[in-house]
Structure 1
């Protein structure tokens, strides 16, 4: 189970400032990413084939 994702230097994420995304969910729960345009939702989803 994926619990955290750390993005650094990928698409719109800065190369020297890693961003950590924590996923808190039960295995049966759907995962939703929401936010403003350009916030990195698609970049987060592209980090794992499990999200596609």
Structure 2
């Protein structure tokens, strides 16, 4: 799963990764918190929608 590989490669916990992604989406990309949370929850369940958004940045 992608989440575990990112955690392993960066030596970061799942909650810390969640917080970093939320902060990036909300404060850097100016996304609404509710939309950011939806993207992150989709990612945590194996979805890749968040990567499509991050590639555009």
Q: TM-score range by the shorter chain?
A: under 0.3
Give the TM-score, by structure 1 length.
0.27
Which has the larger helix fraction? 2
Which has the larger strand fraction? 1
